Amino acid sequence: MSELKEAIPPKKYAKEFYGNCPNCGCGQVEGKNIDIASGDVGITEMHQPMTCTECPAVWTDIYVLDRYQNPEGFTNPIPAGDLL
Ligand SMILES: [Zn+2]
């Protein structure tokens, strides 16, 4: 069933293998509903339960809030250079 000799480490998965199963490496993965959660202090995370359709693996993908974009209706100016 598995083509990998060992699981893809969590950080490597996030950078290079997003969309693939970290256990078997296939691209047949499914995500469930995303929940917003508090992570470490000052970090807001979204957690998405994931499953693989090719092997028994289940895991949670973690997304970290980075910034906002497309502001509308603001009554205060946004400092120049702060909208990337
Ligand atoms: Zn798998």
Q: What tens digit of pLDDT does each residue of 4-45 get?
A: 899 999 999 999 999 999 999 999 999 999 999 877 788 899
Q: What distance in angstroms lies between residue 80's CA and the mean position of ligand 1's atoms?
A: 46
Centre of ligand 1 to C-alpha 39, Å, is: 26
Its pTM stands at 0.79
Burial group, residue 65, by CB count within 10 angstroms (0-12, 13-18, 19+)? exposed
In the chain the domains, ranked by start, together with CATH numbers, are 10-64 (2.20.25)
Ligand 1: centre distance to CA 65 (Å): 27
Ligand 1 centroid–CA 71 distance in Å is 39
CA distance 23 to 10: 11
What pairing do the DSSP bridges indicate for beta strands 35-38 and 29-31? unpaired
Q: Are 64 and 45 in contact (CB under 8 A)?
A: yes
> What is the predicted pLDDT for the residue at 10?
96
Question: Which three-class secondary structure state does DSSP give residue 70?
Answer: coil
Mean pLDDT score of the chain: 90
Under DSSP, the state recorded for 16 is H
